[in-house]
Structure 1
Amino acid sequence: MKKVLSLVLVIAMVLSSMSFAFAGTFEDIADTDYAKAIEALSALGVVSGYEDGTYRPEKTVTRAEMAKLLVEILGYGDLVSGSKSNFTDTQGHWADSWIALAAGKGIVIGTGDGKFTPDRTVSYDEAITMVVRALGYTDASNEIKNMTWPTNFKVKAAELGLTKDVSLSASGADRGGVAQLLYNALTAVLVTVNSDGDVVKSDDELISRIAERDDDYTVTADKVDVHNKNFAGELVDLAPYMFQNLKVYLNDDDQVVFVKDTNSLVIEGTIDEVDDLTVAVETATGTIKKVTFADYDVDAEDVFENGSVKESDIVLADLEDTETIKIVATDGLGTNKEDGKIQAGEVVGFVTTIQTEAIRLEQTYVAGKTKLDGLTLPEYEDKVDTANIKVTGDVDSLEDIEEDDIVVEFLSEDETVTTLVVTRNVVEGKVTRIDGSKYYISGTAYDLSDLSIVASFDLGDEGVFFLDHNDEIVDYDGSSVGPTNYAVVIGFEPGTITEKFNSTSIDDYPQIKLATQDDETVVFDVYVKLNSSGDVTGSAKLDGANMFSGTDLDDTDTLDAAIDQYSLIKYRLNADGKVNKIEVVNNSITYTNIDLDKTSNKLASDVVVFDATDNDYDVVDASALPTEFSAYAVRNTSGEIIVLVVEADELDSAAEVSYAYITKVNQSFNGSDEEIQTIVIYTDGAKKTVYTTEDDTVANGTKKVYGVKYDGEDIDEATAVPFASAVTASAMNARGAMVKVGANWYAMSEHATVIGVDMSDNTVNDLRDLYDIKAGVTLFQYYLNSDQEIDLIIIQE
């Protein structure tokens, strides 16, 4: 499947010719034109930022600062100690030693009258002249002396490419522009000028003065692994260069500080097509490049995916699912060696990125947790491995990701490295056209992300559409004309037709009986339209196809629907209140065990729970669920459970009774003018006023412990139980919601409540928590439900 080139190529493998240093060293350069230059010079130790983490690229540079930068980039920084200049206005100045050395090397000169004016802003003419001199050119060189200053030095700088991408300002040289100037000079060749004024070029580049060159440097997995002793990518992100043989510069610690060039053949871009043994890649310029392979199989060790070597082998066709790809090859095999083309057998590896998950964030990051709203965060030595988590896009840290952000995950197969691309791009409007897989919203075409939380859209759907970094739709808030409501099919009745005066009409519409997510049992007509001959000319859609069909209908014919009883569906009504669209979620529900203690069984905040008991499929509150039960679950793409159909009798048989403390009972009428009771109860960690279902549900007085059947709204049964014997805890884990009594540890249940009670009259003083219990000292009573979890603790006060 063809992928559209990403507008944000800042994922783990940035599709650019070279990458020099990790982005994000300085918080104020990300959106500037000089970011790459500043990062490279920072890695080389030439420039530095301020204590507040900024670089301030717009701040102008003084003549003294410029002199120091040139001394540092020439590798003379360790030689300045003790140096003193002859300028009258630099004595005692912080930069005097650097100015003295720079002047001694002929890089800088004074401003007249024996002065240097160190704190004056350096002009671009001066800065350019200083850089050209640092490369070895002098006023006496034949290439410079025949023109007047500053034209002579500016012309030479342009010839050397030093001023490329530098915005020359008449108001003075700023820190960003100077960084670009110095960056451009790094690969310029150092020269000397002989007595005849001729320029003699050396074999060394300027960068060789501060780093050691290695023209045969191969990037392997250990060199990109931050936890490996051979890790060499602290200053330059080497992950995009995996498998490549490079020309690099190293510091004294053998860390790569600068990537000059690659010796490998590299094709990079996005997959256009995989056809048999040929892989076609679309490059950033739109060119299609093809590579033909000898076989379909690709070894795991030859694929560096999402920042780590894969664990399982793949086939060529699997590459179609990647977002970005680099095919890395040598140019030294076969009869066509060193021809600049990738031949069969020359490929040494693939560097790929692939989306593994996309979510719309509901729960923000909590420090130390190994999950971000269900997304896996790499761990190292039982802690979150921040070194292997890259956050990019609209934010650059986990802490800055906010609710409703779209987060696309690129997680390595071994879960040791992840990149999270965060987007805050939304489009508001209506789906005005559908063309294949493209949805037109307010006139602009958008694709649906492969990992979209939304399955599809219907014409007329209107609202806010949440986009990822590829401008593809991931989620949606709004008014949908498609099926949105969940229901269980209770029954179905066919329709009938009547033929009168040689014309056929609908006598009774077919009907469907549904147990809806609003906890109502409703019978709806199903839309169908006949012509005068009895032919179906329109009907409700079932999974996108016409629900009914038939010709020459007469009064004995019926209209049938292919929906099984007790299937789970989503439905939509038309303006007349008839069902006109149905999507079958599951036509034959099968139940599996659900354990809510497992993180994989996270319930969405608006989960719908159908109870299959007696086949009436009542909707119950999620608080009525036991810890373990048998159910059918529907999940969103974040893995959260959004619908549960709980097997019959599961809610009644498991942990149906929880323990609570009742303090007040009043007789009342409900909305149906039925006599009931209003009670004050301590449960679910709170003091609540709720209703009973009968007028005598609570019959044994107040200020007592009751075993209750409670669905989060009403009390169905309440049985008073004796006060338990008082104990003390042998150990506590308040943070983990665990209490140890004797030799047994007990977890707090979902209804767990801790209260302090005055034992003289059983009056509740207030709500408490486990931090109020001191092991071995505090007396309390506790009550276990059938899952052996604590529902209620009464601290004696």
Structure 2
Amino acid sequence: MRKILSLVLVLTLVLGSFSFAFAAQDDVSGHENEAAIRRLMELGLVEGDSRGIRPDDTITRAEFATMVVRVLGKEDIAKFTTGATNFADVPAGHWASGYINVASTIGLVNGYGDGNFGPEDEITYEQALTIVVRALGYNQEAVEKGGYPVGYLVVADDLDLDIKAEGTAGVPTTRATVFQMLDNALTVDMMVQDGFGEDKTYKVEEGKTLLGELGYDKLTARVVDINTSDLEITLEDEGDFEVPEGFEFEKAYGLELTVWVDGDEVVVCEINDEPMFDAVTGAEDEITLVSADEDYAVVEDATLILDGEEVKAENFNADYAKVVLNDEDEVIWAQGFTFDDTFVVEEVEDGIIYSYNSDELDSEDYVIVKDGTEIVAEDIEEGDILFYNKDEGYIVVYNESENGEITRVYDNAVKFEGEVYDYALTNYDMKYLDGTTLGKADKNVLDAMMDEDENVTVYFDFAGDIVLVEGDQGESDTTSFYAVVESTTSPYPDRGTTKYTFDILNEEGDVVKYDLTETFADEYDGDGTNGVTTWTTDIVTGAVVEVTVDEDGDITEVALVGSSTTLSGEDLEIDATYAEGYRLQDDAVVFWDEDNDDAVADWTVMTWLEAEDEFSKVLDGGAEIYPGSNGRVAVMVVTDTDVDSDTTDYTGLVTNVRELNTGDTWEVTIEVNGEEYEYLTDGTLKASGITGISDMDDLEDKVVTVTVGNESEEISAAVIETGTTPALVTDIDTADDEITVSGSVYELVENAVIYDATDNYAELSLRDLEVNDKVSVYFVNNDTTRFVEYVIRTDLAPTTGGGNDTTVIETNYVIDSTSTFKVDLADGLTESDYIIVFAEKDGTVAATISTFTDATSISVPSGLTTNTEYTIKVMKVSDGTVEASVDVLYQ
């Protein structure tokens, strides 16, 4: 039984009566010893009363001696020895007489030397530390180092008992200081006597602690999983444990802890690791910390988690990572993230984080980390730089900055304090902050800052690249923005000058009309300037352009925004971070032709972040993607979204079909990417003549694409998808979500689902598949031969190996015409008594080998049919007895 109850009882005496929680006030919050007091409270060792904890009050010698005796589990002895004492000022009826008797008997206290103990005297700093040192068993060591008080103070310092528990000799100490001493002492390894008499020595007994004396078990293990909602952590090889409110999950995740537990509850923990934080690039069996410029080997069984998925070292490329080393300085655990973008904080209100450009993040959707420790939104300050990953709901606050001068500006780079930073290499655009104006830092902005401000502040990411330049650009000479050409005209005369009209829809959603001179347009003819070969043929209605204007608002430059790529292969979800292989950031400009036939002037303009208020996905083929020079999406022209259509197509596995009692109406249950939906359909679906369907029940257990009305939620059409012919799985790569089937490598998309047709279409994970299972794969929208949305296991891997315990057939499961195998007959058997038969599953003999040499390579016979399973049998000629057999697949 735990001894903690005894300590709680003594604290009733020491601190007065108390309730379960603070009855009147919390006088601990903000106190320098708050963490220690809170920990003792979690242990049930300290609780307040109507006056609170009173951390700055003093404590008497009797009270403190009693506390330590109870902590050591000697309450029963104290009760037994209540009565007369050796101290003149501690009468037999004193409430603490038994405790003082025990304390003096076991050498915790000695009294004043004049026969008195001073039970009501306030305990001094050195007296309290002396009692704690003796309680831990270090009395002899303290004596050898000078005795009272110096020797005890020295030992206390060696044991770190005085950390945050400092005081002055001869001065009464406070409750808070005493609590801090005890908290520091809880996990110190105690010293014990070894031997007796002249052979008596003392040694430190590792693992023996005051917490152990209280009945808690000590464990040391790595935190391999965290569950913040259930207040649980998983310790490697130890299981799940509950942790108290306020536990720092993010700080502990992946680290080795020493914990003291009561059953499955953690009561105290210590962190043993010191993680590193940096950007990381991976290679085979090692990773590089970018800013530190250090390479570290990765142990074979290391856990590397990137954006929520376990990966191999060569794929561990993170914008930010928490890296943990073992004792040999090898990577044993790491968690990394790639970031969608950066966010410059203007203010935080009601949990919503606002940026200077009016973007916002809801803190409820994110775990927020600073210096490796989770914080809350209210801890974020104006000007903080946030790096975020929307899919993983993860924000890192990082404000590494330097003041200095910009001395050169290049197309995609800037020289700051003598070093060139290429801002086209990051996942996110470099931004600028001028006062309260936040925007994309292009070469024009940087040029202006270089000329105007000799001392700018630049902020870096974990890789040391610039993400924000804060400074004064004065009155910018030029400004650039994206636009769509609304209309143009052929050249027309205007007061002696030939001009073109040039009307554009800009990023603000306004149509702005310009008149450009023929001379301006002629500069673009013939040489491909800014992507324009001929002004009149390239600058047409619907063309996406980047326009630069001067301080007077006059156009100085027009450039076509590259070649577009049509969204193809699958729908683009609103939370996607890539589109057609290009990074998709929140500030990408979206021009939306909602009805796919409106004039450009009627289009809606927004950012990709703002688009989530308009639609949830862009449909396959419903957008043109325009990449910028940095490999990220600059502009998207959207023509087809899920709000534009009356119907939506869903591909999934039909798990059930039921006919309703109304007749000619069916309820179809379909699992789409693991989520179950129910839709109704009438006889028109059956009558539409779905290939291979003679009855509605035939839809069950098939992968089907159904067309569903967005309002009616009724199926109006269905197509049965055709997967690949069932074939053998020859390799499984869980780190990269890949399977190899008959030599073809397929990548499972994020929401891919694996079903087991051999077990009522139960869902499987990729780890559940085995080499030599047979599977069919279904491609995303049936449009590719690489990316897979559904996998159906049709057959389990056959049992392979070699016959019985004495005669063995040695072969691979997959064989071909060039393969060989061996037959190793049991001792005493003769080759001439046996033949080797290749039989099909129905028993048909396809080939026979009548002569072979034992334990020597045998060639596979001719006449076998490819992609056919055979059983190789070692058969006795005289009676047909099968000595050994094994299944193989001939390809």
Q: TM-score, normalised by structure 1?
A: 0.49
Larger % of helix: which? 2
Q: TM-score, normalised by structure 2?
A: 0.44
